[in-house]
Amino acid sequence: MASTNELRNQKYDRQLRLWATAGQSALENAHVCLLNATSTGCEILKNLILPGIGGVAIADGGIVDAKDISTNFFLDMDSVGRPKAEAVSELLKELNEDVSASFTAKTPSELINNEPEYFDPFCMVIATDLHEEDTIKLSALCEKANKILIHVQCKGLSGLFRVQSTEHAIIESHPENVVDLRLISPFKQLKKYVDTFDLDSLDQTDHAHVPFVVVILKYVELWKAQHGGEAPNSYSDRNQLKEQIRAGMRTSDEENFEEAMANVWRLAPSSGNIPSEVQQIFDDPACENITAESPAFWVIARAVRDFVAQEGEGQLPLSGKLPDMKSDTSNYVRLQNVQAQEDLLAVTTRVKDILQSLGSDTDVVPTETIQSFCKNAAYVKLLKYRSIKEEYVTNPRKDQIVTFVENDPNMSYYIAYRAADRFYTKTHRWPGSVTGVSAEDVELLKQESLTVLQSIGVSDEKASELLKLDSIVRACTNYVRFANKETTNLAALIGGLVSQEAIKLITHQYIPINNTCVFNGIASTSSVFEL
The answer as to whether 182 is a domain residue is no
> Helices marked H in 98-177 — which ranges?
108-114, 132-144
The backbone torsions φ and ψ at residue 97, rounded to the nearest 5 degrees and listed phi first, read -70, -15
In this structure, the answer to whether residues 222 and 85 fall within a common structural domain is no
- Model pLDDT for residues 336-362, shown as the tens digit of each residue: 787 888 999 999 999 999 999 999 999
The answer as to whether 471 is a domain residue is yes
In this structure, the answer to whether residues 110 and 197 fall within a common structural domain is no
362 half-sphere exposure, CB direction, 13 A CA radius? 9
Of 267, 285, 303, the one marking the end of a domain is 267
> Tell me, what DSSP letter sits at residue 170?
E
Which residue type, as a one-letter code, is found at position 466? L
For 397-486, list the strands marked E by DSSP.
none
380 neighbors 126 (Cβ within 8 angstroms)? no
33 neighbors 117 (Cβ within 8 angstroms)? no
In this structure, the answer to whether residues 233 and 163 fall within a common structural domain is no
- Model pLDDT for residues 227-268, shown as the tens digit of each residue: 988 889 899 999 999 999 999 999 988 888 998 998 898 887
Which residue type, as a one-letter code, is found at position 174? H
Query: Is residue 190 over pLDDT 50?
Result: yes
The answer as to whether 40 is a domain residue is yes
The answer as to whether 513 is a domain residue is yes
Domain of residue 27 covers 4-172+488-529
In this structure, the answer to whether residues 144 and 51 fall within a common structural domain is yes
In this structure, the answer to whether residues 130 and 23 fall within a common structural domain is yes
Least reliable range by pLDDT among 35-39, 216-220, 504-508: 216-220
- Model pLDDT for residues 140-180, shown as the tens digit of each residue: 999 999 999 999 999 999 999 999 998 999 999 998 766 77
In this structure, the answer to whether residues 221 and 369 fall within a common structural domain is no
- The whole-angstrom separation of Cα 232 and Cα 229 is 10
pLDDT, position 42: 97
349 half-sphere exposure, CB direction, 13 A CA radius? 9
In this structure, the answer to whether residues 373 and 309 fall within a common structural domain is yes
The answer as to whether 180 is a domain residue is no
DSSP string, 387-430: PHHIIIIIS--HHHHHHHHHH-TTHHHHHHHHHHHHHHHHHSS-
For the full predicted model, state whether its pTM sits above 0.85.
yes
- The whole-angstrom separation of Cα 103 and Cα 115 is 15
Query: Is residue 16 over pLDDT 80?
Result: yes
In this structure, the answer to whether residues 166 and 22 fall within a common structural domain is yes
In this structure, the answer to whether residues 250 and 359 fall within a common structural domain is no
The answer as to whether 444 is a domain residue is yes
Q: What integer is the mean pLDDT of 456-471? A: 94
In this structure, the answer to whether residues 125 and 10 fall within a common structural domain is yes
The backbone torsions φ and ψ at residue 420, rounded to the nearest 5 degrees and listed phi first, read -60, -35
Query: Is residue 515 over pLDDT 80?
Result: yes
Q: How many domains does the chain have?
A: 4
Entry field: residues in the chain: 531
The answer as to whether 124 is a domain residue is yes
In this structure, the answer to whether residues 158 and 213 fall within a common structural domain is no
- The whole-angstrom separation of Cα 95 and Cα 111 is 27
In this structure, the answer to whether residues 66 and 112 fall within a common structural domain is yes
48 neighbors 499 (Cβ within 8 angstroms)? yes
Q: What is the CATH number of the domain that holds 153?
A: 3.40.50.720
